[in-house]
Amino acid sequence: MVATEQGREMLRIAALAADAKGGEDLVALDVSDPLPLVDIFLLVTGRSERNVAAIADEIEDRLVESGYKRLRREGRQEARWVLLDFGDLVVHVFHEQERMYYGLERLWKDCPVVPIELPAASHVES
């Protein structure tokens, strides 16, 4: 199986939201083959608990504003690993220590990476 167009659109919205709040090391994995009820996992790193919470909140807000329904949210209170389940897209926002410890990229290494397009950062030269 291959991730659906809806899953890819949700990924685009979530990635832009994560980037807007300083999310780092964004990786999207097409998990539609081993997990028939999910298309894409988006992994994002935040630098602190506050940053993790802000990233997760922004992703959730933007997806809901776009008409997608959140099915489940876990970990928001601790903000070390927040999971947002939107059906076709499951977002994992990690504190950097948790991301290294749990290593979801290693667990899902056989799944294809889905390209993420983000706007290029504008650099001002002096």
- Residue 60, number of CB atoms within 10 A of its CB: 21
User: Considering the chain, what is the average pLDDT of its residues?
Assistant: 91
Q: Which two tokens stand for residue 43?
A: 């992994």
Q: Where are the alpha helices (DSSP H) in 21-103?
A: 49-65, 96-102
Q: Are 25 and 75 in contact (CB under 8 A)?
A: no
Vertex 44: Cα angle to 39 and 50 (nearest 5): 135
The answer to whether the pTM exceeds 0.85 is yes
What 3-state class would DSSP assign to 22? coil
Q: Which two tokens stand for residue 107?
A: 């667990």
DSSP assignments along 85-98, one per residue: E-SSEEEEEEEHHH
| pLDDT band at residue 121 using 50, 70 and 90 as cut-offs | low
64-94 pLDDT tens trace: 999 999 999 999 889 999 999 999 999 999 9
22: phi > 0 → left, psi -120 to 50 → alpha, else beta; which? left
**CATH pick for 5-114 out of 3.10.350.10, 3.40.50.720, 3.40.50.360, 3.30.460.10:** 3.30.460.10
Q: Kindly state the percentage of the chain with pLDDT values over 90.
A: 81
DSSP-assigned letter for residue 48 = S
The pLDDT, as a whole number, for residue 122 is 43
Q: Domain coordinates of the chain in residue numbers?
A: 5-114
Q: Which two tokens stand for residue 56?
A: 């997760």
* CA distance readout (Å), 34 to 30, 111, 112: 9, 8, 11
The pLDDT, as a whole number, for residue 1 is 64
13-41 pLDDT tens trace: 999 999 999 999 999 999 998 888 899 99
